[in-house]
């Protein structure tokens, strides 16, 4: 039994319109799912605010949203691992499986990827959608649907911490305490980082970071972040520096903050040119490592949350009903002081 399938189409910049669309039939290897909670990702907010992807306007109407938990309603032919009633989360990278990158397990850089919510592929801001069963992960009974909707951004944080080789006793700096900065913080803490220094321009984000386990917070709108971080580390810097703000200003200071022989991990989307003194890196023999989304770690993310190692639900600052999706997206852009991670509860 299915109900109405309402979809929140982006019809213009910063504008949603609700439209009822047919409930799709799951094809071979697919699941029909009913979405329960769906997050607003930085990329969703960017598309909604600009109408652009990679500097070009994309076609409207369009559906955003890719971070969700859902319930399986119906399974298509040849689906054996799922049945109606299963609670799931979704890994949104639908890849070809046959290119050299997919075949070597690095499917996050598959050139043929379909990523729902990245134009031109419609996302999940609707009651019902079909997804490949291969991209669904069952949630354990002790995991909430709210936690389930946060597995995707957590996968980014885990991917960053892994790339930074964070382990017991390491010291880290996080430049940016938005949702991805916070999931990276939680991942670093779970992996044993002993000192986690966070810098952001917003005091409220710093308070959240401290609540989640940061050892130090620097409000970069009031203090010189570089001087302060060097002071806190006896002039040495930290083993790992994460750029999670997606800003060329913070990217530019990473070479000052990294310890000799350390690692810099680029996590945020830095779209503008960055002035960088590469010689500083060479003196220290430090490395820059970018990550692109995540791969092979959804099960780890689910187990870490279900096992109580990562209280991921704590990053949520507000939950809006689906009928208030317009307000939810507006707040995610205009009210960054008060809202960090927003979820939308579907009816
Ligand atoms: Zn996301
Ligand atoms: Zn591929």
| 72: three-class secondary structure by DSSP | strand
Region 72-87: mean pLDDT is 98
Same domain, 97 and 133: yes
Same domain, 29 and 76: yes
Span from the CA of 282 to the centroid of ligand 1 (angstroms): 33
Residue 172: left (phi > 0), alpha (psi -120 to 50), or beta? beta
Domain shared by 81 and 166, yes or no: no
Tell how far the Cα of 41 is from the centroid of ligand 1, in angstroms.
Answer: 5
Structural domains in the chain (count): 2
> Do 62 and 93 lie in a common domain?
yes
- Ligand 2 center to 183 CA (angstroms): 27
- Measured in angstroms, how far is the CA atom of residue 315 from the centroid of ligand 1? 14
Question: Residue 43: nearest ligand to its CA?
Answer: 1
52 shares its domain with 90: yes
Domain assignment present for 295: no
Reported confidence tier of residue 7, pLDDT bands at 50, 70, 90: very high
- Do 253 and 279 reside in the same domain of the chain? yes
CA of 93 to the centre of ligand 2 (A): 10
For residue 108, give the ligand nearest its CA.
Answer: 2
Enclosing H/E stretch for 344: strand 341-345
Domain membership of residue 299 (yes or no) is: no
Shortest-distance ligand to the CA of residue 180? 1
pLDDT tens track for 126-158: 999 999 999 999 999 999 999 999 999 999 999
> Residue 34 C-alpha to ligand 2 middle, in angstroms?
28
Q: What's the whole-number mean pLDDT along residues 30-38?
A: 98
Supply the pLDDT for residue 163: 98
User: What was the pLDDT predicted at 336?
Assistant: 82
pLDDT tens figures, 150-191:
999 999 999 999 999 999 999 999 999 999 999 999 999 999
Q: Which two tokens stand for residue 321?
A: 């009903």
CA distance 172 to 174: 7
Q: Does residue 107 lie within any of the structural domains? A: yes
User: What string of DSSP letters covers 189-258?
Assistant: HHTT-SEEEEEES-HHHHHHHHHTT-SEEEETTTS-HHHHHHHHTTT--EEEEEE-S--HHHHHTHHHHE
Calculate how far, in angstroms, residue 280's C-alpha sits from the geometric centre of ligand 1: 33
CA angle 335, 338, 343 (to 5 degrees): 85
pTM: 0.96
What does the pLDDT read at residue 322? 98
| 228/340 same-domain check | no
- 65 and 166: one domain? no
d(CA 188, ligand 2 centre) in Å: 29
Separation of CA 103 and ligand 2 centre (Å): 7
> Residue written as tokens 């507006």?
330
Ligand 2 centroid distance, CA of 294 (Å):
14
Ligand 2 centre distance from Cα of residue 108 (Å): 8
Q: Which ligand is nearest to the CA of 94?
A: 2
Residue 279 placed within a domain: yes
Q: What percent of the chain has pLDDT over 90?
A: 96
Residues 47 and 126 in one domain: yes
Confidence of residue 339 (pLDDT cuts 50, 70, 90): confident
Q: Residue 121 C-alpha to ligand 2 middle, in angstroms?
A: 17
88 and 18 in a single domain? The answer is: yes
Domain CATH for 29: 3.90.180.10
The answer to whether position 37 is within a domain reads yes
CA of 202 to the centre of ligand 2 (A): 39
With bands split at pLDDT 50, 70 and 90, how would you rate the model's confidence at 271?
Answer: confident
Ligand nearest to the CA of 89: 1
Mean pLDDT for 40-62 is: 95
pLDDT at 174: 98
- Type and span of the H or E element at 155: helix 151-163
User: In which element (H, E) is residue 50 found?
Assistant: helix 42-50
Res. 337 pLDDT band, cuts 50 70 90: confident
What ligand has the least distance to the C-alpha of 97?
A: 2
Within a domain: residue 145? no
180 and 219 in a single domain? The answer is yes
65 C-alpha to ligand 1 centroid (Å)? 8
Q: Which residue range(s) make up the domain with 220?
A: 154-290
> Is residue 329 located within the same domain as residue 209?
no
The ligand placed nearest to the CA atom of residue 154 is 1
Decide if 298 is inside a domain.
Answer: no
Residue 219 within any structural domain of the chain:
yes
Tell me how far the alpha carbon of residue 276 lies from the centroid of ligand 1, in angstroms.
28
Q: Which residues surround ligand 2, an ion (CB under 5 A)?
A: 95-96, 99, 102, 110
What per-residue confidence (pLDDT) applies to 1?
64
Q: What was the pLDDT predicted at 319?
A: 97
Please state, rounded to an integer, the average pLDDT across all residues of the chain.
97
Q: Give 42 Cα–ligand 2 centroid separation in angstroms.
A: 25
* CATH code at position 171: 3.40.50.720
Contact indicator for 257, 238 with CB cutoff of 8 Å: yes
Tell me the per-residue pLDDT of 93-108, one tens digit each, with 9 for 90 and over. Answer: 999 999 999 999 999 9
At residue 157, φ and ψ (nearest 5 deg) are -60, -40
């Amino acid at each position: 039994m299915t109900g109405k399938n309402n979809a929140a189409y982006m019809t213009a910049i910063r504008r949603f319109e609700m439209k009822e669309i047919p409930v799709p039939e799951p094809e071979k290897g697919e699941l029909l799912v009913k979405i329960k909670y769906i997050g607003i990702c930085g990329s969703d907010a960017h598309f909604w605010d600009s109408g652009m992807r990679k500097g070009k306007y994309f076609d409207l109407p369009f559906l955003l949203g890719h971070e969700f938990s859902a319930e399986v309603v119906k399974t298509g032919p040849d689906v054996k691992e799922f049945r109606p009633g299963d609670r799931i989360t979704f890994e949104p990278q639908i890849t070809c499986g046959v290119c050299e990158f997919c075949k070597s397990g690095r499917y996050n850089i598959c050139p043929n990827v379909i990523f729902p919510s990245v134009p031109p592929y419609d996302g999940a801001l609707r009651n019902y959608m079909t997804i490949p069963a291969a991209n669904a992960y069952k949630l354990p009974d002790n995991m909430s649907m709210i936690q389930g909707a946060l597995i995707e951004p957590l996968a980014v944080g885990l991917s960053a911490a892994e790339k930074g080789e964070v382990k017991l006793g390491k010291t880290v700096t996080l430049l940016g305490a938005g949702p991805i900065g916070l999931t990276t913080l939680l991942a670093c803490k779970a992996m044993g980082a002993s000192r986690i220094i966070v810098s952001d321009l917003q005091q409220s984000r710093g308070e959240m970071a401290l609540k989640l386990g940061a050892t130090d917070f620097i409000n970069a709108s009031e203090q010189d972040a570089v001087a302060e971080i060097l002071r806190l580390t006896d002039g040495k810097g930290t083993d790992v520096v994460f750029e999670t703000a997606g800003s060329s200003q913070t990217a530019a200071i990473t070479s000052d903050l990294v310890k000799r022989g350390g690692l810099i991990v680029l996590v945020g989307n830095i779209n503008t040119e960055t002035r960088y003194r590469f010689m500083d890196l060479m003196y220290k023999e430090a490395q820059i490592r970018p990550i692109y989304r995540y791969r092979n770690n959804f099960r780890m993310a689910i187990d870490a949350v279900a096992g109580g190692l990562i209280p991921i639900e704590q990053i949520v600052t507000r939950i809006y009903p689906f009928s208030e999706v317009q307000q939810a997206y507006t707040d995610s852009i205009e009210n960054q002081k008060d809202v960090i991670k927003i979820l939308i509860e579907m009816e």
